[in-house]
Amino acid sequence: MKKFLFLTVAVLAALTFIACGSSGKSDEGGEGNNNNPCGNGKLDDGEVCDGNISCNEAGHFYPELEAVCNSDCSALDTSRCTPRDPNDKCGNGTIDPGETCEQGQVKACSELSASTPVGESRCRRDCRGWTPEDCSSGGKIRTCAQTVECIRKCADDSCVNSCKEAATDQGAAQLEALEGCASACGGLSDDNCLISNCYNEYYACFPLEKCGNGKLDEGEFCEQNDTKPCQELNTEDKTWQPINEAVCNKTCDAWDTYSCIDINDLTCYQAYECIQACSDSACEQACIAKTSMPAKQKLDTMRACIDENCSGAAMLDDCINEKCKFQTDACKTHLTCGNGHIDQYEICEAKEFVDCGEIKDSAGESLYEAGTAQAFCNSNCTEYSTLMCYKFCSCAEVKTCVEQECGGYPNSNAENNEEKKACISKCEDEGNSVGKKEAQDYRTAIESCVETDQSGNPTGNNAWDSDTCKDQMPSQAGVTCGTEDNPKCPY
């Protein structure tokens, strides 16, 4: 009989699975379970959010897009929000020096231009001017693109003329140019043909479609979905840390740097180490002030876990590793996990799969059977989740586990309580692909075993005698428990 060794990899993987899977609400704001207030639409004690909010509600960001509330309502993910200059006061409800208006304000178009007096103009997102898109002249409000879409729905010439009459002067001129070269396409219905034969005219009419057409056109810095390492955008005035990538913005005229981290900003774990060296709260606040918003959110989550579970612990590092490993790992790797590289603190890359046989201990020995399943890299890139992997234990070794860890199999229904069942199930999970199945069959046979008298009638209060059944088990086909011994089995 071999001594049982707790395998850290499996335990941590299980904890990771439980931590990730316990919530009934997705990051997109789905409903939580009945016992979890997260997802009920209101902000309960301990919650930072309960549903997504606009970016400007989540902090100093431009208003487009949303900040995403995470699965346990403990933090907002603002990684898609576009941050504003710290000195930019647009959105504070006051027209400050350098601002023309405030977010949310509108102004009659007639006050902006005599040529387009109809409609209202909105304050720009940077508060430095008015947007003219909704202004028109005398009821003519359709752009070229809107006019084309209107025409495509028409069934007769009267409808087509009505669409054109509502076009702005600019829209009408762009439409005329497009129609002038659309004869090769038999009209305006085939976008692909129009792009091939009327490239300039088509994109003059549909300027928003130019960004994302797969071609770097005049005036564009990049194409939709293009990325560039943040450090390649370094200038004399602005330097980014050599991690993460900038993303081409929705108009293809600049790079969005919301994922880039200023060279002087601390990462989440750097901020934590900075705080650990502090002796007063002012120092701690100075460390936090040097972090980006995503880093601070990860830091707050980790510190909350440590405060709750490890406050006053004699061995702080050991406690953190046991109780808050997932949150600590998330802090260590949130800037690098998923960037295609194995960085500091990481052992794998997000969404990476390996054969279970590739998972090894510190001595280089495989911990799981090869060729039975795959392990996947966890969401922090710090370990493989091995929930589908099999160990090297036979059915007989599972029985040893039950005897050592669970006090043996139950002898009656009364003894077969939930604690006993959970313990036996855990031992069965130690089994290899054959051993686990045999052990489960063995348990099923025991649980169906009935002690009888000479007439074959059940006896005893529970009519169940595990010992009698186990004595007879070797002679019962299909429920024997193998006796193979593998030195890699923990028992």
Task: Calculate the alpha carbon distances from 34 to 25, 48, 71, 362, 479 in Å.
Answer: 11, 19, 15, 42, 41
- Report which DSSP code applies to 207: H
Residue 309 has pLDDT above 90, yes or no: yes
Determine the pLDDT at residue 420: 92
Residue 276 has pLDDT above 80, yes or no: yes
The Cα–Cα gap between 277 and 213 comes to: 51
> Taking the CB of residue 129, how many other CB atoms lie within 10 A of it?
13
φ, ψ (nearest 5 deg) of residue 231: -65, -20
Question: What confidence category does residue 18 fall into, taking pLDDT thresholds of 50, 70 and 90?
Answer: very low
Q: In the numeric block, which tokens belong to residue 246?
A: 């900038």
* Residue pair 109/120 in contact by the 8 Å Cβ criterion: yes
Determine the pLDDT at residue 459: 63
The Cα–Cα gap between 266 and 289 comes to: 9
Burial of 14 (0-12, 13-18, 19+ CB in 10 A): middle
Find the helix packing angle between 325-333 and 316-323, rounded to 10°: 90
Residue 128 has pLDDT above 80, yes or no: yes
| More confident: 6 or 41 | 41
Which 3 state secondary structure label does DSSP give 348? coil
Residue 275 has pLDDT above 90, yes or no: yes
Strands (E), 152-229: 227-229
- pLDDT (tens digit per residue) in 163-186: 898 888 899 999 999 999 898 898
The Cα–Cα gap between 297 and 337 comes to: 16
Residue partners of 418: CB distance under 8 A and separation at least 6 = none
User: Averaged over 20-44, what is the pLDDT?
Assistant: 54
- pLDDT (tens digit per residue) in 433-463: 888 888 988 888 888 776 666 665 666 555 6
Share of the chain above pLDDT 70, in %: 86
Residue 32 has pLDDT above 50, yes or no: no
User: Averaged over 141-153, what is the pLDDT?
Assistant: 88
* Residue pair 247/259 in contact by the 8 Å Cβ criterion: yes
The Cα–Cα gap between 242 and 423 comes to: 48
Most confident among 1-10, 329-338, 419-428 (mean pLDDT): 419-428
The three-point CA angle 202-205-207 to 5° equals: 90
Q: Which long-range contacts (CB under 8 A, 24 or more apart) does 467-470 make?
A: 467/411, 469/445, 470/409, 470/446
Determine the pLDDT at residue 479: 60
258: amino acid identity, one letter: Y
Strands 227-229 and 130-131: unpaired
Residue 397 has pLDDT above 80, yes or no: yes
- Report which DSSP code applies to 67: E
The Cα–Cα gap between 61 and 81 comes to: 6
Q: Among all chains, which residue has been given the structure tokens 């006796």?
A: 483
191: amino acid identity, one letter: D
Q: In the numeric block, which tokens belong to residue 180?
A: 């002038």
Determine the pLDDT at residue 27: 40
What is the rounded radius of gyration, in angstroms, for the C-alpha atoms of the chain?
Answer: 33
Determine the pLDDT at residue 124: 83
Residue 1 has pLDDT above 60, yes or no: no
- pLDDT (tens digit per residue) in 55-97: 878 888 877 778 888 888 888 888 878 887 777 888 888 888 8
Residue partners of 454: CB distance under 8 A and separation at least 6 = none
